[in-house]
């Protein structure tokens, strides 16, 4: 079952001769539970695609349906509610609140969606950080902070996890730990993961690899045997 459907989706910033065509006529379907890696250089449209699927931005044209909901017909309030209930976000720079513990960072999101303390603890346990619940972000390694960010996204139990350059500020070993948790989200918890990165090595662990170039899909490749995170080298 498709949980993400883009039909001839384009996104343009500005007008006239200075307009920037960030995405051009994108056609893509993503199935439930798929682990999709979107590759491309800076400016290829990767983050724009993620922002459209997450209802952070609106397409200029085309049809965009996510989790059975047509995002092109929604009001801003409806888009906010959609982001809260249907997608989890994981960003490169964690965006944790430094004055809150790991558990409190997760709880802040949990309370927005009616989850409780136990749900937050369970989310930390899923990423292997139950024993670090009372630690502040400054007391955690970069990889641990990223795993807290994954727990914060997962506590909502969203069907779709949108991940932007999750290993960009991490070393290889730490990056592999984060990738392993993201792969677990897909394989064990049956969530759809849409991960964008400029790191071509990570493409090997995707079920499919979408390559963007200048706002268009250059290729779509299916990996018959996706690499394990331990096999990824960069």
Distances (CA, A) of 96 to 50, 59, 92, 132, 187: 20, 29, 11, 14, 26
Q: Which CATH class is domain 2-231?
A: alpha beta
pLDDT digits (tens, 9 = 90+) for 149-165: 999 998 988 999 999 99
Give the pLDDT of residue 38.
Answer: 97
Kindly list the domain boundaries of the chain, sorted by start residue. Answer: 2-231
pLDDT at 169 over 80: no
pTM of the model: 0.89
H or E element: which one contains 111? helix 102-112
Give the pLDDT of residue 160.
Answer: 94
Contact between 143 and 178 (Cβ < 8 Å):
yes
Starting at the earlier edge strand, list the strands of the sheet with 69-70.
20-31, 2-13, 61-66, 69-70
What's the mean pLDDT in 15-37?
95
């Amino acid at each position: 079952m498709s949980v993400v459907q883009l039909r001839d989706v384009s996104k343009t910033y500005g007008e006239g001769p200075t307009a920037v065509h960030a995405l051009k006529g994108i056609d893509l379907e993503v199935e439930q539970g798929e682990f999709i890696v979107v590759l491309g250089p800076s400016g290829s449209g990767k983050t724009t695609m993620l922002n459209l699927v997450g209802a952070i931005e609106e397409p200029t044209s085309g049809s965009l349906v996510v989790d059975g909901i047509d995002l092109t017909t929604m009001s801003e309030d409806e888009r906010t509610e959609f982001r809260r209930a249907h997608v989890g976000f994981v960003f490169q720079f964690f965006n944790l609140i430094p004055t809150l513990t790991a558990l409190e960072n997760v709880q802040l999101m949990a309370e927005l969606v009616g989850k409780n303390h136990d749900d937050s603890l369970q989310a930390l346990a899923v990423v292997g950080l139950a024993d670090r619940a009372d630690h502040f972000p400054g007391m955690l390694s970069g990889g641990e902070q990223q795993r807290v960010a994954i727990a914060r996204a997962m506590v909502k139990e969203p069907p779709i996890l949108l991940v932007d350059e999750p290993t960009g500020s991490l070393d290889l070993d730490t990056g592999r730990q984060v990738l392993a948790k993201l792969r677990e989200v897909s394989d064990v918890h049956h969530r759809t993961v849409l991960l964008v990165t400029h790191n071509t090595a990570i493409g090997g662990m995707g079920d499919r690899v979408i390559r963007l170039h200048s706002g268009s899909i250059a290729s779509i490749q299916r990996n018959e045997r996706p690499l394990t995170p331990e096999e990824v080298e960069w």
